[in-house]
Amino acid sequence: MKPLSLDSPSLTMGRFWQAHLWNVSKLKLILELWDKDSNWAQTTVVKWFKASHASWFLFIGTARGQMVLYKYNNANGRIVTSENIFKNTSIDDLDFDSANQRLIVCDNCGEIRAYNVNTNFKLKLSWKYKSLGSFTIRQLHFDSDSEGVVAYTLHTGQR
């Protein structure tokens, strides 16, 4: 994986079987990540989270329920894990709490799963919740003031 500098503003975009990282100020493509095994399908969510003062996590969620995690230290990246979190649905959003080593992930059918994460990034399911009725979760994050989770939903209009 080629060196990467996160000192400048960047934009990460996803599409079929790949994710692109752009330097916004230079309008230059910095990095392309490809799914060589064709497990991803469409890229549904791409997010950066600070791991420490010198490292970052890049999370990629896919339409096949796959979560792929890259870690970047000192401008070098490596894949940490690739797990099929949801077997039949797509990952719609996720959030990572690096201070408490927690991950939450939601799918397009309204299910939320919370995981505790160890130093090797092995996931241990903490809890899961299925939203009631005809709601789909559009955004998910940890509440900074408590141990809670905030989920923003939309009603699907189905009865």
The pLDDT assigned to 31 comes to: 74
What strands lie across the sheet with 102-107, from one edge to the other? Answer: 91-97, 102-107, 111-117, 123-130
Q: For residue 123, what pLDDT is reported? A: 93
On whether residue 129 sits in a domain, the answer given is yes
Give the chain's domain count.
1
pLDDT at 140: 92
DSSP string, 82-147: EEE--SSS-EEEEEEETTTTEEEEEETTSEEEEEEE-TT--EEEEEEEE--SSEEEEEEEE-TTSS
Pick from 45, 153, 150: nearest CA to 93: 45
| Calpha distance 42→18 (Å, rounded) | 8
pLDDT beneath 70: ranges in the chain: 1-17, 74-75, 157-159
Is 2 a member of any domain? no
Q: Is residue 39 part of a domain?
A: yes
Give the pLDDT confidence score for residue 1 in this predicted structure: 43
Residue 10: the pLDDT is: 55
Closest Cα partner for 22 from 3, 40, 9, 7? Answer: 9
In a domain, residue 52? The reply is yes
pLDDT at res. 24: 77
- What single-letter DSSP state applies at residue 7? S
Predicted TM-score of the model (pTM): 0.81
* Domain annotation covers residue 70: yes
Q: What are the tokens at 69?
A: 């995690």
Does 1 fall in a domain? no
pLDDT at 131: 82
pLDDT of 95: 94
Residue type for position 76:
N
Q: What is the pLDDT of residue 94?
A: 95
* CATH number for the domain harbouring residue 63: 2.130.10.10
pLDDT at 9: 47
Q: 104 has which bridge partners?
A: 95, 114
Is 89 inside a domain boundary? yes
41: which 2 tokens?
């399908």
Domain that holds residue 40: 10-155
For residue 16, the model assigns a pLDDT of: 64
